[in-house]
Amino acid sequence: MITITKNEEVVLDQIKIFNMEYPDGIPVNVLRRELGFHEYDLVQILEELNDKDLVVFKDNKVSLSESELEINTVNSKKDVEELELNMKEKESYDLIKQLVDDKNLVSKYTLEGHLLYGDLKLTNFRMYHIILSLQNKGLLKSFNKEDGEYYLLVE
């Protein structure tokens, strides 16, 4: 599922309307006139939509991409980040469930390595933020054993 802001949704809807009229791509100035957005803001939104594979934006023209993704709309970029973090938290929690041993323990370094370099490819900041969030929610506990630092998955 792809999460977009209200402004991104407005632009995407307008692209869908103009898509048939401009088969070679909709010129940015046509969208700008129709929507009344400042050119800089419109280009930023188009680049975001391009990064999310919802449109193809190049040479100051935009067209719909061929992908059929499920779209979720929220009010702001902050809401997008929070929703994505919650999804990353869930994915991280699912990964932790796979990594723990029969006592629900996982080495701190094993867990951090999988979060940083595994399929999720989290940044250091996001990884520590997720671990801290899971600890604050009571799902993960950190503790030291004689042979190193561990996390306990609380179920």
CA distances from 34 to 27, 29, 70, 74, 141 (A): 11, 9, 26, 23, 53
Task: Please write the tens of the pLDDT for every residue from 80-109.
Answer: 666 666 778 888 888 999 999 998 899 999
Q: Is the CB of residue 41 less than 8 Å from the CB of residue 110?
A: no
pLDDT for the residue numbered 63 = 92
Average pLDDT, the chain: 87
Parallel/antiparallel/unpaired status of strands 2-5 and 105-107: unpaired
pLDDT for the residue numbered 55 = 92
Question: How far apart are alpha carbons 28 and 127 in whole angstroms?
Answer: 38
> 142: which 2 tokens?
């950190």
3-state secondary structure of 61: strand
Q: Is the CB of residue 1 less than 8 Å from the CB of residue 69?
A: yes
Structural domains of the chain, with CATH: 2-72 (1.10.10.10), 76-153 (1.10.10.10)
pLDDT for the residue numbered 25 = 93
Please spell the DSSP secondary structure of 29-59, one letter per residue: HHHHHHH---HHHHHHHHHHHHHTTSEEEET
Q: What is the pTM of this model?
A: 0.55
